[in-house]
Amino acid sequence: MEDRILGIHHITAIAGSAKKNLDFYTNVLGLRLLKKTVNFDDPGTYHLYYGDEEGSPGTILTFFPYETARRGKAGTGMATHIGYAVPEGSFDFWMKRFEENNVDFGRPSEKFGEQYLPFRDPDGLFLELVIPKNADNRKPWETDEVKADVATKGFHSVTLTLQKADKTAAILTDIFGYTLQDQTGSSYRYSTDAVEGANIIDIVENPSIDRAVGGAGTNHHIAFRVKNEEVLMKFREKVASRGYNITEKIDRNYFYSLYFREPGGVLFEIATDNPGFAIDESVAELGKKLLLPPQYEPQRAQIEAVLPRLD
């Protein structure tokens, strides 16, 4: 792989009940719980990671669940919609499953020549199942109820809703190497050929929409993927040279990160593939026990006492 942005690494959102979040994403949507850890800045709050078998970049959705969180409101200045790639012919399965589990969902629709099925998680987060124009060959995680022929393959796309698109689009094209693939009215599709999946960013420009309000059911940030720390720091130089305030390198245990807020208001992260999720437990054991960042291990008893039960 070249020294390029390799599509989406992960997406992080805010939730309310940790148990409802876990039940929905593992039991209903059929994702794997990859990590059960805590927020680096608030160790009394879980940080839950979901994805495929190994936690491959481009499949990782993470949550900070706050039991008393207010309901947020999607709007401009936010990554508002998350799209998952699914196999052709799987919508009937998913609509039946959503009905059986009282999931809020809409009817299949089309955008940019692809069929999508909109739905929401228990906190109201906007999600979509998308049948890509080109078949997604990534191996999905499957469960007893969600088999490979219908299971999600990982991210297809993420939608940024903005008051103005031009400066954000310039970051995607001039710094991150995306190209404008299509446009329908005030909706723009950007993609990168650096990877085959999780490689699409949609921008919806609508200055009449209210600014987003963070809270349960909204996205906190979107992370773009790079191969390693060397490439990460090259992108730090690129972003800083454009005048954006970008953090120093931060060790997130399972990847290294940089953060900056793009002109439209969305918090962008750039994250590395290394070291991955098997650094502190085997692939077979992922998500089975509470793992704490080293600085919080001496406080394990106190932390476990305040975290809500998940079983």
3-state secondary structure of 93: helix
pTM for the complete prediction?
0.97
Residue 178: the pLDDT is: 98
Q: How many domains does the chain fold into?
A: 1
Asked if residue 1 belongs to a domain, the reply is no
Asked if residue 146 belongs to a domain, the reply is yes
3-state secondary structure of 173: helix
Report the 10 Å Cβ neighbour count for 99: 10
Residue numbers of the domain that contains 164 = 8-306
* Domain CATH for 287: 3.10.180.10
Residue 181: the pLDDT is: 97
In one-letter notation, the amino acid at residue 107 is: R
Encode the chain (311 residues) as per-residue pLDDT tens digits.
Answer: 579 999 999 999 999 999 999 999 999 999 999 999 999 899 999 999 999 999 999 999 999 999 999 999 999 999 999 999 999 999 999 999 999 999 999 999 999 999 999 999 999 999 999 999 998 999 999 999 999 999 999 999 999 999 999 999 999 999 999 999 999 999 999 999 999 999 999 999 999 999 999 999 999 999 999 999 999 999 999 999 999 999 999 999 999 999 999 999 999 999 999 999 999 999 999 999 999 999 999 999 999 999 999 98
Closest by CA to 175, choosing from 201, 205, 212, is 201
Asked if residue 296 belongs to a domain, the reply is yes
3-state secondary structure of 81: strand
Q: How far apart are CA 223 and CA 258, in angstroms?
A: 9
Asked if residue 169 belongs to a domain, the reply is yes
Phi-psi sector, 219: left (phi>0), alpha (psi -120 to 50), beta? beta
Which residue, chain included where needed, has tokens 């089975």? Answer: 288
- Beta-sheet pairing, 187-191 with 179-184: antiparallel
Q: In the beta sheet, which residues pair with residue 78?
A: 161
Asked if residue 55 belongs to a domain, the reply is yes
Q: How far apart are CA 116 and CA 187, in angstroms?
A: 15
Asked if residue 276 belongs to a domain, the reply is yes
Residue 311: the pLDDT is: 83
Residue 214: exposure state from Cβ atoms within 10 A (0-12, 13-18, ≥19)? middle
Phi-psi sector, 136: left (phi>0), alpha (psi -120 to 50), beta? beta
Asked if residue 2 belongs to a domain, the reply is no
Q: Which stretches does DSSP call E strand in the chain? A: 8-15, 32-39, 42-51, 60-65, 78-85, 109-111, 114-120, 126-131, 155-162, 179-184, 187-191, 200-205, 219-226, 250-251, 255-261, 267-275
Asked if residue 289 belongs to a domain, the reply is yes
